[in-house]
Structure 1
Amino acid sequence: MSRTFRAGLIVFGLLSVGDLAGPLLTDGEHPPMSVALIGSALGLVSLVLVVLAWRGTRRTVVPLLVLRILSGLSAVPAFFAGDVPAAAMIAAGLTIALTAAGTVLVLVPARQLVGAR
């Protein structure tokens, strides 16, 4: 397992833990509690997949990517909804940026392996 891949898993792990804390950090409106609970469920499943991928189970990488991208996309409405506090918009932007970075870090080793053949 490459260091780049591990770095991506660490980013995904941190994002997953952040998702788990979502219901504790929301005021009930930004994000709505239902969104925070869904994000928490995505975070829990993602955290399990991160652990499995870290242990070498490669088939967990695609579901992990899908869940993390869905979680990142769930932050996009913060930029279009009204009355969203600046802190929530910054958190949403950070979530999206870290999701993109984690995705690239996890996928780069796969491309290197394909090119090596």
Structure 2
Amino acid sequence: MSRTFRAGLILFGLLSVGDLAGPLLTDGEHPPMSIALIGAVLGLISLVLVVLAWRGERRAVVPLIVLRVLSAASALPAFFVGDVPAAALVAAGVTVALAVGGTVLVLLPAREFAGVR
């Protein structure tokens, strides 16, 4: 397992833990509790997939990326809905950026092994 792959998994693990904390950190409106609970479920499943991928289960990588992209997508409405606090907008932006970064880090080794540089 390459360093970049491990770094991507660590990043995904941290994002997943953040998703798990979502229902405890929300005021019920930003994000709505339903979105925070969905995020927590995605975070829990993602953590399981991170552990499996860390142990060498390559089949866990694609579902992990899909879940992390879905989680990041759940933060996107913050940019289009009015009356969202600045802190929530920053958190949404950071979440999306870290999800993209984690995806790149996890996929980069696959390109290296394929001989593409």
TM range (shorter): over 0.9
Secondary structure of 2:30 counterpart? coil
1:94 matched residue in structure 2 = 94
Q: Where in structure 2 are the equivalents of 1:39-78 lying within 5 Å?
A: 39-78=39-78
Which residue matches 1:25?
25
Give me the identity figure in percent: 78
SS in 1 for 2:29: coil
Displacement of 1:6:
0.1
Distance (Å, rounded) in 2 between the aligned partners of 1:46 and 1:63: 8
Instruction: Specify the SS of the correspondent of 2:115.
Output: helix
Which consecutive residues of structure 2, in runs of 5 or more, have no partner in the other structure? none
Give the match for residue 80 of structure 1: 80
User: RMSD in angstroms over aligned alpha carbons?
Assistant: 0.7
TM-fit CA distance, 1:115: 1.3
TM-score by length of 1: 0.98
TM-score by length of 2: 0.98
- Shift of residue 94 of structure 1? 0.2
Moved over 4 A (4+): none
For each residue in 1:20-71, what CA deviation from the matched residue of structure 2 results, as whole angstroms up to 9, or x when unmatched?
0000000000000000000000000000000000011000000000000000
